[in-house]
Amino acid sequence: MKCVRSMRWGRPRGPLAGRSVLNDLWSFSADTSTWSFAGGSHGINSRGQFDSELWPGARQGHVSWHTVANEVCLFAGRGYGSEAFGYLNDMWCFSIDGAQWSAVGGSQTPGEVSVHTGGDAWPGALARAAAVKDQEGVVWLFGGFGYAATGSAGYLHDLWTWGADTDQ
């Protein structure tokens, strides 16, 4: 069976448009042309779960990609961390084989600034960035709107790489 893996967090349409974000996860089977619900809160504006039941908070404007380890990873966006709404810099990966999330890094609290040096380097909270995965499995992340290392918010021109397929 061939399955197209896609992930979308975003705003509901209709009467909830503009006021709410979602955290549900669906998979689409190209063989049967059907959607299957993989999990989520069944509600709007859900906070992230960082305890024994890991699940990212509702959001929009994130980036996502598929790894060679058969995971779908999600980074940043504008939505809910563990408590508050804002720009996020958390990263999550969903194991398609194991059907569970893992929190990879970043903060549970919105509004974190970029750290550009040392072993703690990590992009700041942002949304609407561009991301692409190259042939070696390295994810390239550029720009977006969020928090720079200076703490100021605005349009970013940072370029980051993440070697998830090689665990770097």
Q: What is the pLDDT of residue 168?
A: 42
**DSSP per-residue codes, 114-141:** PB-SSTT-B--SEES-EEEE-TTS-EEE
Distance CA 53, CA 55 (A): 7
Q: Which of 94, 113, 112, 115 is nearest to 103 (CA)?
A: 94
> Residue ranges of the chain with pLDDT lower than 70?
1-19, 164-168
Q: Which helix (H) or strand (E) holds 76?
A: strand 71-80
Q: What is the pLDDT of residue 83?
A: 84
Q: Is the pTM of this model over 0.85?
A: no
Q: What is the pLDDT of residue 19?
A: 63
